Amino acid sequence: MKVLFAAAEAHPFIKTGGLADVIGALPKALKGAGVDVRVILPKYKGIPEQFRSQMEPVAVLDVPVGWRNQYCGIEQIVYEGIPVYFVDNEYYFGRDGIYGYMDDGERFAFFNRAVLECLPSINFQPDVLHCHDWHAAVVPLLLKAHYRHIPFYSNMRTVFTIHNLLYQGVFPYSVLGELLGLDSSYFTSVEYYGNVNYMKGGIVHSDHVTTVSPTYADEIRTAYYGYGLDGLLNSRADSLSGIVNGIDTKSYNPNTDSKIFTRYRSNLTKKAENKLGLQQELGLPVAPYIPMVAMVTRLVDSKGLDLLTRVLDELLYYDDIQFVLLGTGDESYERWFREAAWRYPTKLSSQILFNDALSRKIYAASDIFLMPSKFEPCGISQLLALRYGSIPVVRETGGLNDTVHAYEEETGEGNGFTFKDYNAHDMMFTLRRAVSYYHKPEHWKKVTKNAFAGDYSWSVSAQQYIDIYDNIME
């Protein structure tokens, strides 16, 4: 079986969020299961030189973008056994950052067309084109409209994965003809309040739609989470699947991670040495028995930060805890957490930056990991926390609901603590409940044992994707 992943980002080449982690890890799991899988990405200016210097030219071609033809170079790296192709065009991708430009509709129309146009030139005929998020969502539509009649493309099937329905790629009506080269007969399948919606095109025209957790697959079929596409998603319910993401358990392994203070497998005493190291590094009181609560997150509304800002002063004033936050985002939240750290210098460390080594130290050092998200399609942070034995406190939404299960004192089952309603005091009550169990060693050992015992790898999820590929190919 041959599969091509089309996406806008992939670890370690370029990353803004969880999409890159998926594209960096899932192909390796599929390859381990016998799939010939490859990846295609834009060649951004921000890709580190260590990778750019390894890229080898494969092909040069012209790519139609509406009525015009644009230069396209294809370069290749084989990274950890996975061939990765890069679509080169300085006009579109030789810029700082990845998204957020006024001509993003044109930039990714070019990329989608290039994905299809380059296949004969790179001598790869995939059975399945697996397209991710709005940036690659019109590949299935373009395949049907421009390529299906060509024998080389006639048997290709498509899977479209929604990583976050909030971001849909909505552009003016003129994009349909000017950039995608389509007439008005195709407008209905991409129409969104008079505009062109790339993600809608992926949902309508792909052979199968997936998203990144079973709960999120249910949620996006409701008006609250569906962002105007819930009716369409309900119409595709029979070919909509939710598959939980995994993590790269080889890279994120507390027993081998060279970036943490003390390596450990499931030994809480060894884990506690990481807390002492981090307390010292961040200037917090070095106190092994004070529970450390952590967040590694983007500082945006969807992560539940409005809940936290309502009650954090109360928690830090009355409760004997330390709180460590790492992340960047909205200026208002960055300012709030800097000021809060000034008010509580012995209890709160606000690290307004992103640093991979520091994030790993926080996963290893913290006792409790807070994720009170308003919505969370899958979430990676709670899986990393579980891997490192930091017990999640989460709201029951999306992938958090599928991966974190409330601890039950009577049975000793469960790997975290959960609350349902989006309410600041429900969150605070649940966090205090987790802290109370931290001070009951017989229970804390059980819940951390359950966390360490979980399988957070991609192996199960990869097989679910293979089953979908097999099904649509039949």
Cα dihedral sign, 259-402-294-262: negative
Q: pLDDT of 340-386, one tens digit each?
A: 999 999 999 999 998 989 999 999 999 999 999 999 999 999 999 99
Q: Which pLDDT score, from 0 to 100, does residue 465 have?
A: 98
- Cβ distance 422 to 205 under 8 Å? no
Query: Distance (Å, rounded) from C-alpha 81 to C-alpha 186?
Result: 39
Q: Which pLDDT score, from 0 to 100, does residue 374 have?
A: 95
Q: Which pLDDT score, from 0 to 100, does residue 354 have?
A: 86
Q: Where in the chain is the domain with CATH 3.40.50.2000?
A: 2-246+459-473, 268-453
Please give the CATH superfamily to which domain 2-246+459-473 belongs: Glycogen Phosphorylase B; (3.40.50.2000)
Is the confidence at residue 16, as pLDDT, over 90?
Answer: no
How far, in whole angstroms, is CA 3 from its chain's centroid?
20
Query: Distance (Å, rounded) from C-alpha 59 to C-alpha 73?
Result: 6
Is the confidence at residue 8, as pLDDT, over 90?
Answer: yes
Distances (CA, A) of 322 to 232, 291, 349, 366, 389: 46, 6, 8, 9, 17
- Cβ distance 110 to 65 under 8 Å? yes
- Tell me the CA end-to-end span of the chain in Å, nearest whole number: 12
Q: What pTM value is reported for the model?
A: 0.91
Q: Which pLDDT score, from 0 to 100, does residue 248 have?
A: 87
- Cβ distance 4 to 50 under 8 Å? no
Segment 30-36 shows an average pLDDT of 96
Please give the CATH superfamily to which domain 268-453 belongs: Glycogen Phosphorylase B; (3.40.50.2000)
The SS3 assignment for 369 reads strand
The SS3 assignment for 443 reads helix
Query: Distance (Å, rounded) from C-alpha 173 to C-alpha 219?
Result: 29
Is the confidence at residue 17, as pLDDT, over 90?
Answer: no
Residue of 58, 23, 29 lying closest to 41 (CA atoms): 23
Strands 348-351 and 191-192: unpaired
